[in-house]
Chain A
Amino acid sequence: MAGKTLFDKIWDKHVVDEIKGGPSVLYIDRHLIHEVTSPQAFAGIESRGISLFRPENTVATPDHNVPTVDQHLSIKDELSRFQVNKLTENCEKHGVTLYGLNHPYHGIVHVIGPELGITQPGLTMVCGDSHTSTHGAFGSVAFGIGTSEVEMVLATQCILQPKPKKMRITVDGELAKGVTAKDVVLYIIAKISASGGTGYFIEYAGSVIRSLSMEGRMTVCNMSIESGARGGLIAPDQTTFDYVKGREFAPSGDDFDQAVERWKLLKSDDDAVFDKELHYDAADIEPMITYGTNPGMGAKIKDKIPAVEEIDPATRESYEKSLAYMGFDAGSPIAGRKVDYIFVGSCTNGRIEDLREVAQFVKGKRKAEHVTAWIVPGSKQVEEQAHEEGITEILEASGFKLRQPGCSACLAMNDDKVPEGMLAVATSNRNFEGRQGPGSRTMLASPLTAAAAAVTGIISDPRSLL
């Protein structure tokens, strides 16, 4: 019998039951919730007259709706305030731990899970949010669910799930200077398209992945969903164990050592068979950026937007529609376009390492006059750390300002909206039409590329400024 993949090992250990001809009953170890996708689930629980099955396994934080300035004041937008208050109310009523606004642990769900040590190798984790795939960086099976499924977890700590297929993406070689984890994942999605991962759970492997920090690995796993995959994971190693050690909810002392012994077994067997295998070479990866309205429409910054003739005839109409929205001409160069906004933040690139990278880059340079820059930490802890490390000062000296934590312009549910027609370089994960505000145009890139755009005022390859 062939060996097992890492995904199989974790999944199989969590199957409570199999429905004949149907999905598995999968046990969920950790459940994260936020204000947008949970209220209807709590309402469902209440209308059934039941209580939460394991409230201690759910952790809540409001992130999508929150303002990124003046967080000590009451939220101005009435609907947002109502939704955030509803989360507080539901958590109090049902005994769920909540890290609300201004709490030292507040932040984007996918940033606080790892930094608090809630995310650990070998676990199953879900959240009513597709970027739950982020937590797979620790070697856990983590994926986004809908609100009906949130209700299932609240009610029974289980969901019904068909088992996905397995894909392994191996990236070998060594990344060149100025090429980051974000470029790796944008490169992969550009190769396999925004639907190439649908039906699969991806394992990322190879020397490039191994060489990434935990932050970098999270960036890669975070965007798995952008290829359509349910999630992505990376086998844990010393980098993982070192990151988890000493965090608030991580095991400590002897328990930690024992946990590490178990975690070391979490890897795909040498003879494991994947449904699909892809290999890429680091030598071909360069700073990437998207030019269209789905994350699969990405290219090297030095490249041109593909000519219509290069596109599969069956998809040309959608391609042209997308470029028309962006106001870009097929066949034109990507670099050199004037940028109006930059956004550094989100669960993809709102971690301390991202801020460090930006600060290091802009130190001694100035923000271009015409660019509006939003730099938003992923969590309160990231914000504090940025203050402690002097990052805030470096940013300010260069004409930038650090805001307060939240999802912010990643989905523009709060006031951080890119105005109609404006072009933004964003470190977030989605460039859909209107994602950053009605009529806004988004190009996805790494924090370095966003910083380069902020300083030069145009789309530039950051390597030319390193």
Chain B
Amino acid sequence: MPSEIFQNIESTAVPLPIENVDTDQIIPARFLKATTRDGFGENLFRDWRFDKNGLSKEGFVLNNLSYSGTILVGGKNFGSGSSREHAAWAIHDYGFKVVVSSFFADIFKNNALNNGLLPVQVSDSFLSTLFEAIEQDAATIIKVNLEEQTISIAASGASENFDINPYKKKCLLNGYDDIDYLLSIKEKIVHFEKSRT
């Protein structure tokens, strides 16, 4: 089942300069009762976004109309906590294609990559530069080029390279899926099972 093909991105960004954003904040446990992958975007950052009566909380960035776009820029250690893939689904479902941080939790990174959501890990200093640029001008355009593995600020030209596993890069650029790959080597797996007994 091929997934979406990842295209280069040029977009404004939503800043969330908070450290240790954990998966319980991204999508609280009480919203994990669905049995399909859709609709989680509605409850993305639920308890930061809405009060207990369901009203928008003013100070939270997703409720600030000045900020929009398909890039979410988060603080250090983004996505820590539980393995719930619902966190990646919620961010993707809300409309983000890229999450930028100076540090990602391992499982979150895998989950994001398995869902066409690109985690871009940048240096602490580039992360500060990004936050400053967005803070100064919410219309700041950020460019993410997966082919060349670069992230840059359009206006200033400030740019940095990011790492990605070459296999995962190929998957994203071509819309390949890990399960299709594993199914294609089933004979090898059967052979492996036989060889170990």
Q: Write the residues of chain A forming the contact surface with B, with a CB cutoff of 8 angstroms.
A: 13, 16-17, 19-23, 25, 27, 36-37, 39-40, 43-44, 47-48, 50, 53, 64-65, 79-80, 82-83, 86, 128-130, 144-149, 151-152, 155-160, 162, 164, 194-195, 198-199, 228, 230, 293-294, 314-315, 317-318, 321, 411-413, 420, 430, 432-435, 438-439
Give 10 new A-B contacts, CB below 8 A, not counting A86-B35, A411-B24. A22-B168, A23-B167, A27-B192, A82-B33, A144-B82, A147-B111, A148-B85, A194-B20, A198-B77, A433-B24
Assembly CA distance A37 to B57 (angstroms): 30
In chain B between 142 and 197, which residues have their CB closer than 8 angstroms to a CB of chain A?
165-168, 178-179, 181-183, 185-186, 188-189, 192-193, 196
Number of A-B contacts (CB under 8 A): 181
Assess whether B81 is in contact with A432, with CB atoms less than 8 Å apart: yes
Contact partner, B80, options A19, A20, A228, A412, Cβ 8 Å: A228
Q: Which residues of chain A are near B192, meaning CB under 8 Å? A: 16, 27
Assess whether B105 is in contact with A148, with CB atoms less than 8 Å apart: no
Query: For residue B166, which residue of chain A has the nearest CB?
Result: A21
Q: Which residues of chain A are near B1, meaning CB under 8 Å? A: 44, 47-48
Assembly CA distance A128 to B32 (angstroms): 13
- Closest chain-B Cβ to A316's Cβ sits at a distance in Å of 10
Cβ of B96 under 8 Å from chain A: no
Q: Which residues of chain B are near A53, meaning CB under 8 Å? A: 186, 189
Contact partner, B105, options A50, A158, A228, A321, Cβ 8 Å: A228
Query: For residue A315, which residue of chain B has the nearest CB?
Result: B19
- Closest chain-A Cβ to B83's Cβ sits at a distance in Å of 4
Assess whether A195 is in contact with B106, with CB atoms less than 8 Å apart: no
Q: Which residues of chain B are near A22, meaning CB under 8 Å? A: 165-168
Assess whether A156 is in contact with B52, with CB atoms less than 8 Å apart: no
Q: Which residues of chain B are near A159, meaning CB under 8 Å? A: 178, 182
Assembly CA distance A25 to B1 (angstroms): 19
Assess whether B47 is in contact with A434, with CB atoms less than 8 Å apart: yes
Q: Write the residues of chain B forming the contact surface with A, with a CB cutoff of 8 angstroms.
A: 1, 17-20, 22, 24-25, 28-30, 32-37, 47, 52, 75-77, 80-86, 88, 103-107, 110-111, 114-115, 124, 165-168, 178-179, 181-183, 185-186, 188-189, 192-193, 196
Assess whether B106 is in contact with A294, with CB atoms less than 8 Å apart: no
Residues A21 and B167 in contact in the complex (CB < 8 Å), given A16-B192, A149-B110, A228-B106: yes
Q: Which residues of chain A are near B114, meaning CB under 8 Å? A: 146, 148-149
Contact partner, B178, options A39, A160, A198, A411, Cβ 8 Å: A160
Assess whether A152 is in contact with B106, with CB atoms less than 8 Å apart: no
Assembly CA distance A155 to B22 (angstroms): 29
Residues A157 and B107 in contact in the complex (CB < 8 Å), given A82-B35, A294-B20: no
Assembly CA distance A74 to B22 (angstroms): 33
Query: For residue A196, which residue of chain B has the nearest CB?
Result: B77
- Closest chain-A Cβ to B107's Cβ sits at a distance in Å of 6
Q: Which residues of chain B are near A434, meaning CB under 8 Å? A: 24-25, 28, 47
Assembly CA distance A145 to B110 (angstroms): 9
14 A-B residue pairs with Cβ-Cβ distance under 8 Å, sorted by A, are A20-B167, A22-B167, A23-B167, A47-B1, A80-B33, A146-B85, A147-B86, A152-B182, A155-B182, A195-B103, A294-B20, A294-B22, A321-B18, A430-B24
Shortest 8 CB-CB distances between A and B: which pairs?
Answer: A22-B167, A39-B35, A146-B85, A79-B33, A146-B111, A144-B83, A148-B114, A318-B19
Contact partner, A158, options B30, B103, B110, B182, Cβ 8 Å: B182
- Closest chain-B Cβ to A297's Cβ sits at a distance in Å of 9
Assembly CA distance A19 to B168 (angstroms): 11
Contact partner, B30, options A44, A144, A228, A413, Cβ 8 Å: A413
Query: For residue A83, which residue of chain B has the nearest CB?
Result: B33
Assess whether B106 is in contact with A318, with CB atoms less than 8 Å apart: no
Assembly CA distance A434 to B47 (angstroms): 8
Assess whether A83 is in contact with B35, with CB atoms less than 8 Å apart: yes
Assembly CA distance A82 to B52 (angstroms): 25
Assess whether B88 is in contact with A146, with CB atoms less than 8 Å apart: yes
Assembly CA distance A21 to B115 (angstroms): 20
- Closest chain-A Cβ to B88's Cβ sits at a distance in Å of 7
Q: Which residues of chain B are near A37, meaning CB under 8 Å? A: 83-85
Assess whether A25 is in contact with B20, with CB atoms less than 8 Å apart: no
Assess whether A156 is in contact with B80, with CB atoms less than 8 Å apart: no
Q: Which residues of chain A are near B37, meaning CB under 8 Å? A: 40
Assess whether A198 is in contact with B106, with CB atoms less than 8 Å apart: yes
Assembly CA distance A39 to B35 (angstroms): 5
Query: For residue A21, which residue of chain B has the nearest CB?
Result: B166
